[in-house]
Amino acid sequence: MGKHTAYWENYSRAQVRGALRMSGVILAWVFVLALLAAGHDAFGKAFPWLIGAGLVGLAATTAWLAMRAQKVVCPECATTYTRHKWGGRCPHCGLGLLQQDP
């Protein structure tokens, strides 16, 4: 086993939990928007504003969770950096994403 195997296994599990969390949040917002749409008569003229606020909330929450999901803490030097689409390297020590040994 490599020097950072346990760290990257925990990182991979955290990425899966983050994806599940993001899916759950999106489904919750869709459910809230569906409830608003079902009761549109009760809200009267405020209905378009409520739907707009719900959509803004959905976009903001999704963006916040996505930005958190891209952050990586390097196990070698503890530098925080943003990963790219196909991985990335630590800007300080050069350790690659999911690389076991430096």
Across all residues in the chain, what is the average pLDDT?
A: 86
**Is the domain of 59 the same as that of 80?**
no
**Residue 91 structural domain:** 71-102
pLDDT band for position 29 (50/70/90)? very high
State the pLDDT at residue 60: 94
Structure tokens that stand for 71 in this block: 């952050």
**Is the domain of 79 the same as that of 54?**
no
Sign of the four-CA dihedral 27, 30, 36, 40: negative
State the pLDDT at residue 1: 64
Q: How many domains, the chain?
A: 2
Assign 2 to helix, strand or coil: coil
Percent of the chain with pLDDT over 70: 98
Residue 33 above 80 pLDDT? yes
Comparing 33-37, 59-63, 89-93, which segment has the lowest mean pLDDT? 89-93
